[in-house]
């Protein structure tokens, strides 16, 4: 974890909400010069901080409505930092908690050099990343509908329906349900699935066109990995954004949730913690990529079998995911394609 340690004349902590923001500004000696609740209107905020804009830093916790504040500060030339929500324990651990107290604590953390930093994702790529995340959400919704049809068939003890995720496998599906009400329910699911498929096909094409304009080289490097296609490649690309923001490969695999942080005290181990700290989308992408890499890949399957015999199936896949994360780090850093022989070396 990195902390914000730069010195300023004024430190502005904001407890940010959708329609209101509690602003606390401290001077260099820790005195409160402003402590006020205002609306989330840019003009109101700029008017409030106007006397203190010289050498001011603005900080807020990473929550859903920080985009506009980060963009406003960037346009106005004001230093802005984003706080890592899970690390900001000082805000949530007090006896009393309200917006006024929280804004003051954020300002104190800024001034004291204890403000845990989250990444301020660049404005130019932010919308594409969010659209890609929305695409993944819609895919999960479609999968829930497919699972519901399968479960309905199980309820009525019907024969196995097969791989109905494929449109070609759905022919005559409705006729298998004799109850007209049940048939209508399955029909509604199928119509919704078909709508999702049409929507997703267009959306994926548009996302690929955008990515080809924004980062064609990085996408081509990621697609050089066996099993990584356009979707996994785009997920990795936009969730990483820039490999340069990770000084070491250890920082990168930790961000991807590919390692288990250990809890130690006085030389004793107390298990693992911090499983939720990191990027869940990258953890999913690397896990999926390893499964797809193994399909039809006999040399890698042999390596996986050796790891499974030693560690078990789950840990074997985790080891391969961790190794793939390290490979992607050096691929993007050195701008080289995937090398399977080097990837399998030492497994």
Q: In this predicted model, what pLDDT tens digit does every residue of 205-215 receive, in sequence order? A: 999 999 999 99
Per-residue pLDDT band for 78 (boundaries 50, 70, 90) equals very high
What's the burial of 116, exposed, middle or buried (CB within 10 Å: 0-12/13-18/19+)? buried
Residue 59 phi, psi dihedral angles, 5° rounding: -135, 145
Q: What is the pLDDT of residues 259-306, one digit of tens each?
A: 887 777 777 877 777 677 889 999 999 999 999 999 999 999 999 999
Whether 186 and 152 have beta carbons less than 8 Å apart is answered as yes
Q: pTM for this one?
A: 0.89
Considering the chain, what percentage of its residues have pLDDT values greater than 90? 86
Q: Residue 240: how many CB atoms within 10 A of its CB?
A: 21
Per-residue pLDDT band for 97 (boundaries 50, 70, 90) equals confident
The predicted pLDDT at position 264 comes to: 77
The predicted pLDDT at position 28 comes to: 94
Across 173-177, average pLDDT: 94
Q: Residue 13: how many CB atoms within 10 A of its CB?
A: 28
Per-residue pLDDT band for 158 (boundaries 50, 70, 90) equals very high
What's the rounded Cα separation, in Å, for the pair 151 and 217? 43
What's the rounded Cα separation, in Å, for the pair 37 and 48? 10
Pairing of strands 56-61, 79-83: parallel
The predicted pLDDT at position 149 comes to: 97
Q: How open is the CA angle 337-340-256, to the nearest 5 degrees?
A: 70
Per-residue pLDDT band for 112 (boundaries 50, 70, 90) equals very high
Whether 32 and 26 have beta carbons less than 8 Å apart is answered as yes
The predicted pLDDT at position 276 comes to: 74
What's the rounded Cα separation, in Å, for the pair 291 and 303? 13
Across 246-251, average pLDDT: 95
Kindly give the residue spans of alpha helices, DSSP state H, lying in the chain: 42-49, 67-76, 89-92, 99-112, 123-155, 180-214, 216-223, 230-240, 249-255, 280-294, 298-311, 313-334, 340-344
Q: Residue 189: how many CB atoms within 10 A of its CB?
A: 19
Name 21's bridge partners.
Answer: 16, 38
Structure-token match 């402003």, residue found: 34
């Amino acid at each position: 974890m990195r902390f914000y340690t730069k010195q300023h004349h004024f430190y502005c902590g904001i407890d940010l909400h959708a329609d209101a923001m509690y602003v606390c500004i401290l001077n260099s000696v820790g005195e409160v010069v402003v402590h006020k609740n205002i609306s989330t209107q840019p003009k109101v905020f700029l008017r409030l901080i106007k006397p203190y804009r010289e050498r001011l830093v603005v900080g807020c916790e990473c929550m859903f409505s920080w985009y506009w504040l980060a963009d406003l500060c960037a346009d106005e030339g004001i230093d802005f930092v984003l706080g890592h929500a899970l690390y900001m324990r000082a805000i949530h651990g007090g006896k009393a908690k309200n917006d006024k107290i929280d804004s003051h604590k954020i300002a104190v953390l800024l001034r004291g050099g204890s403000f845990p930093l989250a990444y301020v994702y660049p404005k130019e790529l932010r919308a594409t990343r969010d659209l890609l995340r929305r695409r993944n959400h819609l895919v999960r919704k479609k999968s829930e509908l497919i699972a519901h049809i399968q479960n309905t068939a199980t309820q009525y003890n019907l024969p196995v329906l097969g791989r109905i995720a494929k449109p070609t496998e759905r022919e005559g599906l409705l006729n298998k349900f004799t109850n007209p009400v049940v048939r209508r329910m399955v029909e509604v699911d199928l119509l919704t699935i078909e709508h999702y498929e049409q929507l997703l096909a267009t959306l994926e094409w548009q996302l690929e066109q955008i990515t080809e304009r924004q980062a064609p080289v990085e996408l081509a490097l990621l697609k050089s990995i066996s099993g990584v296609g356009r979707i996994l490649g785009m997920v990795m690309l936009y969730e990483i954004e820039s490999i340069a923001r990770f000084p070491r490969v250890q920082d990168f695999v930790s961000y991807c949730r590919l390692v288990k942080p250990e809890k130690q005290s006085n030389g004793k181990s107390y298990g693992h913690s911090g499983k939720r700290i990191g990027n869940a989308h990258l953890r999913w992408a690397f896990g999926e990529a390893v499964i797809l890499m193994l399909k039809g890949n006999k040399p890698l399957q042999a390596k996986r079998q050796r790891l499974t015999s030693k560690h078990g199936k789950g840990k074997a896949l985790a080891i391969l995911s961790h190794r793939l994360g390290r490979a992607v780090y050096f691929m993007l850093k050195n701008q080289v394609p995937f090398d399977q022989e080097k990837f399998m070396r030492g497994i």
